[in-house]
Amino acid sequence: MQIKREISTMKLIRHPNVIRMIEVMASKTKIYIVLEFVTGGELFDKIVSRGRMKEDETRKYFQQLINAVDYCHSRGVFHRDLKPENLLLDANGVLKVSDFGLSALPQQVREDGLLHTTCGTPNYVAPEVINNKGYDGAKADLWSCGVILFVLMAGYLPFEDSNLVALYKKIHKADFTCPPWFSTNAKKLIKRILDPNPSTRITIPEVIENEWFRKGYKPPTFEQADISLDDVDAIFNETGVSKVHLGISNPTFKHDLHNALGIQDSGSLVVERKEEGSKSPLTMNAFELISKSQGLNLSSLFEKQMGIVKRETRFTSNRPAKEILSKIEETATPLGFDVKKNNYKMKLQGEKTGRKGHLSVATEIYEVAPSLYMVELRKAGGDTLEFHKFYKSLKTGLKDIVWKHEEDPDEGETGASVSQSSR
């Protein structure tokens, strides 16, 4: 079970460069995972908005990435989907590895000492993973780190082709060229990491001792604790009602968290509070409205804005909420979307398989003032660019009920071509 593996993995990993899991709670019908709040966005967004990075800045992020991956490997965990989209930044610019949904634990290693599941993102995957003959998870992860290093300094992918077969041929041959602005030592390191032969590829301990890598290097300091996965197994037992305690010591925060999730905490049990059918959309207060609105967003007072590829958008309407719901359903269905409604929330599920699976769009209506509603559409799954195209088509069908659109998801974005193939 993928969710169980991800929870187990994140409990095993306690490192300053890995997103921290605070607590896990489960009822008979839901699993609640409380994660560290990381506000700096994806490293991917930084590449899209700024293009390539300077070598010293790249080295800082690469050092943190290698520290995190090396620690994961020491705990028997192999990520298997390392890419800039899965690398987050906190408010201080510290890198945090996330998304362990495809990770492998020691029990998945077969008798030959290798992993055998082909997974990952094509542009970042190691050649031996594609071969389907088994691979060393540590060496495959390091290959992905090498691709990330190249992307950060070059601003584009080392292996790129619209044809998947042609792409895999380039990966198998390590058919890439470093741009002229790479330093000699950086080129040497990248070529040793992107060695298509895993037996001669450089190892992480060797990377850490590399001259280019060592410049300004500070080993991480953190507490290492003995971790048991017994309580994770308890979450998935027959009753399905239990908790994993991971360190919420503030009782006020815990109380507020449980209220926000709509659950009641009774010792080691978590019980969902019964939800009554909503007769009207949720009312949005002034602070929530400010946080949603671009025009009133106060974050520019505190942090530099980045042009990122957006995964959500909003519009306002003065039509009745039920009419808005009906119009969205009426417009989305001919576009090939299955519509599921729950009070004033909707889930639009694409019937066709896109580049990253089926496009899924979460929609919710908020009342911001009497007879004024805000509708939020957020990409819940699938490809971001496909979400942009879907929203443009949807917007045309909703023109009679829309009072004002927020800026389009892809309007004004630049540099997205660097990584569109990987999203």
Residues with active-site annotation: 81
Dihedral (CA of 331, 332, 338, 344) sign: negative
3-state secondary structure of 142: helix
Segment holding 167, helix H or strand E:
helix 164-173
Residues in CB range of 194: below 8 A, 6 or more apart: 143, 146, 147, 150, 158, 174, 176
Q: Which of 40, 78, 34 is nearest to 61 (CA)?
A: 40
Distance between CA atoms of residues 147 and 168, nearest Å: 14
DSSP 93: -
Pairwise CA distance, residues 216 & 85, whole Å:
25
Q: What is the DSSP string of 296-364?
A: T-GGGGTS-------SEEEEEE-S-HHHHHHHHHHHHGGGTEEEEEETTEEEEEEEEEEBTEEEEEEEE
* In 28-172, beta strands by DSSP E: 31-35, 87-89, 95-97
Residue 3: CB atoms within 10 A of its CB come to: 14
SS (H, E, C) 274-313: CCCCCCCCEECCHHHHHHHCCCCCHHHHCCCCCCCCCCEE
Compute CA distances 407 → 50, 219, 295, whole Å: 20, 43, 10
Residue 104 vs residues 13, 57, 99, 125, 138: alpha-carbon distances, Å = 13, 30, 12, 15, 10
